[in-house]
Amino acid sequence: MKFLVAAIVLCIVHTACGGNDIESVFGDFKVSPRQDLPFLELANYDGYTAEQHFVTTKDGYILSLFRLPIQKSCETSKGVIMFMHGLYLSGDDCLIPGPGKAHCYVYSDNCYDVWVPNVRGNFYSRNHTTLNPDRDSKFWDFSVDEQAVLDLPAAIDYVLLETKESQLSYVAHSQGVSMLLILCAKKPEYNDKIKVGFGLSPTAWLDHSRFIVIQLQSIIAPGLTLTGPLLNLEVLKRGGLVQNSAELLCGTTSLAYPFCSILVFAVLGYNKFQITDDVLPVVVGHTPSGTSLKNFIRWGQIQNNGFSEYDYGVLRNVATYGTAKPPLYDLSGVTMPWVFLGSENDYVANVTDIKLLQSKLQKSSLCVLSDKTFGHLDFIYGKDIPNYLTPIVLSYLETGSYTCT
């Protein structure tokens, strides 16, 4: 079964490159002036002021944090919202669908001070005080665990210091949700720094994930777990293998976009109902954004083992944890409130798995969207974000309650 999955991915990629009539795959594919703009330029193009800040983690990674400061038309700040992107992705995700739709623009329009960190290793955070990401493989020796307990607290503390606030609200997609769960489990003092977490398509347990790439990851995870340093590689780099091989294999740049979009969506899932023609090229121009092979494999471990600690293989697990299998994260320390948003069409974050996560938490609620077509990426790129998602965030922050539609 799992080899069939691998074969299908190869097949999709092969068809995308080998087919004569690539244009027909996506109809007349449009080019957008927004498609390649990095965060600051994209925000400016869309009519917003944006800033870039840098924060250095305890282990030397230099992370980029973007900010949409309070707009001039606002009398006061309603508080800080931090948007945390998902696996292989970047802070650009909260701008991509454009004004009136993208998460960060909607929160900014509602007078929130919006901050957008980027995890180590992604397009905006390939930087370190001593390691060179292009030469030192040690740079790539990390997974979501380091992003959770080193990157996220550095970002939270920096933002609270800069804004002189005592708490922030956290809106996160996918792995961004997992990061705060792990952080609050390991360093419970962070519960007090978060007013509420909004988990868009939250990932923790992946027992029911039917998502092709996670299944692939889980096949290769056991074989690669023991081979430590070999995992210190960059994967899914922006402007890297995916986009370059697209140009190489498919010829011209304009043809590379449809190719890339097929590859990206084979990786991340695609719903033609939500990701509109004008937004699709912008998504393709901004994804993927890179991570380490170790983190890629890490998510295969989580599918195999549950929402658990790093799997070093039996011998080192016994030495480290006292058990052959890594233990589950102890979520009893997560006391901050969560609002989860899920969909029955989400192949990554299955509603059954979200409910399992909820059973381990003290304060959480779940809105399963009535729109049964919503997929994993629609939570960040979909045209209906301002109809289904941002009203929940805004309503909860203003009144402490929300209506699930």
Whether 174 is catalytic is: yes
| Smaller CB separation from ligand NAG, 55 or 179 | 55
Q: What's the CA gap between 79 and 110, in Å, rounded? A: 10
Q: Is 62 helix (H, G, I), strand (E, B) or coil?
A: strand
Tokens of 230: 């070999």
Cα separation, 357 vs 349, in Å, equals: 11
Q: What does residue 328 show for φ and ψ, rounded to 5 degrees?
A: -65, 150
Q: Measuring CA to CA, which residue among 124, 188, 190 is closest to residue 152?
A: 190
With tokens 């799997």, the residue in question is 311
Residue 405 touches ligand NAG, criterion: CB under 6 A: no
Least distance (Å) from ligand NAG to the CB of residue 231?
23
343 in active site: no
Beta strands in 174-326 (DSSP E): 194-200, 234-235, 291-292
Minimum CB distance to ligand NAG, residue 345 (Å): 5
Question: Mask of contacts with ligand NAG, 349-388, x by CB under 6 A?
Answer: -x-x------------------------------------
Supply the minimum distance, in Å, between the C-beta of residue 38 and ligand NAG. 11
Rounded Cα gap, residues 249 and 256, in angstroms: 8
Query: Smallest distance, Å, CB 207 to ligand NAG?
Result: 8
Specify the residue, 88 or 347, whose C-beta has the smaller distance to ligand NAG.
347
In the list 127, 147, 175, 201, the residue contacting ligand NAG (rule: CB under 6 A) is: 127
CB 199 within 8 A of CB 346: no
Piece of the chain touching ligand NAG by CB under 6 A; list 110-118, 139-147, 163-171, 344-352 = 344-352
State which of residues 9, 25, 62, 241 lies at the interface with ligand NAG (CB under 6 A). 62
Q: Which of residues 267-296 bind ligand NAG (CB under 6 A)?
A: none
Q: Among this protein's residues, is 376 annotated catalytic? A: yes
The residue written with tokens 């974050």 in the block is 349
What is the total count of residues that contact ligand NAG (CB under 6 A)?
10
- 391, 189, 151, 108: CA torsion to nearest 10: 30
Does residue number 345 form part of the binding site for ligand NAG (CB under 6 A)?
Answer: yes
Contact range with ligand NAG by CB under 6 A, out of 92-100, 109-117, 163-171, 341-349: 341-349
- Return the H-helix or E-strand segment holding 17: helix 2-18
Handedness of CA 80, 99, 383, 89 (dihedral sign): negative
Name residues contacting ligand NAG, limited to 152-211 (CB under 6 A): 208, 210
* Among 346, 353, 364, 378, the one annotated catalytic: 346
Which listed residue (169, 174, 201, 364) is catalytic? 174
Per CB under 6 A, 347 contacts ligand NAG = yes
Select the residue interacting with ligand NAG from 2, 14, 54, 132 (CB under 6 A): 54
- Distance of alpha carbon 269 from alpha carbon 262, whole angstroms: 9
Tell me the C-alpha distance between 223 and 306, whole Å: 18
Going from the C-alpha of 31 to that of each of 43, 120, 280, 383, the distances in angstroms are 18, 30, 9, 18
When the beta carbons of 109 and 234 are compared against ligand NAG, the nearer one is 234
40 binds ligand NAG (CB under 6 A): no
Instruction: Decide the pairing of beta strands 364-368 and 338-342.
Output: parallel
Residues marked as catalytic: 174, 346, 376
Contacting positions for ligand NAG (CB under 6 A)? 54, 62, 127, 208, 210, 345-347, 350, 352
